Amino acid sequence: MRQSKPLLLFLIILLNVGIFNLKAFARKLFLGEVQVAADTTITASGLQAVGFDTSIFSRLDERIAAGNYGLLHRLLVVCNNKLVVEKYYNKWEEKRIHDIQSATKSIASALIGIAIDKKFIRSVNEKLPALLPGYDFRKEDSLKKSIRLKDLLTMSPGFAWDETTSYKEKGNSLTDMYASNINWLDYILTQNMTDKPGMRFNYNSGASILLGAILKAKTGMTVEKFAEKFLFESLGIGKYHWSEYFGMAHCGGGLYLSSRDMAKIGNLFLNKGRFNGNPIISSRWVRDSFVPRFGVSNKIYYGYQWWMIGSVFDFEPIVYAAGNGWQFIIVIKEFNTVIITTGNNYVEQDPKTTLSQHELIYSVLACNPAFRAKINRIFNDDKQVETRNFYEILLMAQALNSQGEYARAVKYLKPVEVKYKNDLRFCYLVGEAYHYTGNNEKAGIYLENCVRLCNEKKFPEAGYLRMANDLLAL
């Protein structure tokens, strides 16, 4: 049953994550697969049932409740197919469905995979004229006619499109399309070409919207009906809303789901397309979706409408669906874990958070004894901290501090104290470690520097600024 609610049309922010080699990433993601039970239904449980440290989670919970992660609405954690965390914040009610913004794109990609599995679409190499037979391509140039389904899935169709500016301003392609009152299909397909298709990643919600038009054209069903028949009903998803414009479902950011249903999507991909032992999406499509097709920056990769966090140390990469405002479906294959968040941390509004989703991910993982064991092994084996990239250094410091291993954190950070003294995250973490080892003089230097850096950057009274001031007041 679909629910009618107005849609906040904002798009995702890019994330700061670890660096990795493209081919090595693909190998690491698919070799040594995690074995899961045949029954992949999510069952309610508790932290202790999977061996999670409740004291570590309590500290994370307190920081979320204090606003240090901004206006977070929900946090769900599924581990080994057990729902071990289900928390709601800022007066958000459990039964309400939530806009998932651009995380919609990843679900649209899943529907494309199902359409290929069921032979509605031949392959990702089909080109636009075959995919949209009702559209007159005779006026379009040969470059546009050569756009493949794969190019839309990987945000590389070659259209002139710019979503790098604020969604409040003219010149942002998505905002301009909303304001145009032109049929979206016509608007997108009449954009000029700036690149050869498949050559360059350019974040483009228009490409995702075209996926919905293709699904409708090739299956003869609306996106909603196709999703209900082949995905939602199989997962037990009955309460949702998918916004429509000009007769098309908004596959760029128009879906509303409950957090539990978001978790089902994450668990489906974690378990290679199977739910309750039944294949819903082919394992091949799941695998292909998670292959890094483009390096978005030196730290971020993109697959078939899914984002990827690079490997740090020798941890396996993390894959996620991402929507503006902290709408995340995070799939962590190595630890058989799915993390779901929804929130109101929209980039168009004043900043509400200084702690990022990465701190949240690794704070959740720090509850897991398998993660802690691996971190401790890496700590014991790591003799060259100076050669580590900064993201790895922050991860190690946060993991050690989360475990209460403050003396070890000091030891790990000491060789790079001077090098990173002007990074506010580093200053907080090393200041926290010195504080709890009793070196108040050193702690004061770094915590005061953290406060100074936060104030210079005009960060809000949350996150690192608040936590640093709290420690200084003790």
DSSP string, 53-65: -HHHHHHHHHHHH
Backbone angles phi, psi at 259, to 5 degrees: -65, -35
Q: What backbone phi and psi angles, to 5 degrees, belong to 430?
A: -75, -35
φ and ψ of 380, to 5 deg: -70, -30
In this prediction, residue 167 carries a pLDDT of 86
Q: What pLDDT shows up at residue 388? A: 84
pLDDT of residue 27: 39
Pairing type for strands 43-44 and 82-88 reads parallel
Separation of alpha carbons 272 and 192, rounded Å: 38
DSSP string, 419-468: TTTT-HHHHHHHHHHHHHTT-HHHHHHHHHHHHHHHHHTT--SSTHHHHH
Question: Residue 95 burial (CB < 10 Å; 0-12/13-18/19+)?
Answer: exposed
Q: CA triplet 26, 109, 179: central angle to 5 degrees?
A: 125
**What is the per-residue pLDDT for 343?**
94
What is the predicted pLDDT for the residue at 352? 58
How many helices (H) and strands (E) the chain has is answered by: 20, 16
Cα(302)–Cα(289) distance, rounded to whole angstroms? 9
pLDDT at 38: 36
* Per-residue pLDDT, 14: 32
The whole-angstrom distance between residue 356's C-alpha and the CA centroid of its chain comes to: 11
Pair of tokens at residue 302: 């993109």
How far, rounded to the nearest angstrom, does the alpha carbon of residue 77 sit from its chain's CA centroid? 14
- Are the CB atoms for 356 and 323 separated by under 8 Å? no
Q: What is the pLDDT along the chain (474 residues), one digit of tens a residue?
A: 444 433 333 333 333 333 334 444 443 443 333 333 334 566 667 888 889 999 999 999 999 998 888 899 999 999 999 999 999 999 888 889 999 999 999 999 999 999 999 999 999 999 999 999 999 998 888 899 999 999 999 999 999 999 998 888 899 999 999 999 999 999 999 999 999 999 999 999 999 999 999 999 999 999 999 999 999 999 999 999 999 999 889 999 999 999 999 999 999 999 999 998 899 999 999 999 999 999 887 678 999 999 998 877 888 999 999 999 999 999 999 999 999 999 998 866 665 566 888 889 999 999 999 999 999 998 888 777 878 888 889 889 999 999 899 999 999 998 998 899 899 999 999 999 999 999 999 999 999 999 999 988 877 667 898 899 999 998
Structural contact between residues 428 and 453, judged by C-beta atoms closer than 8 angstroms: no
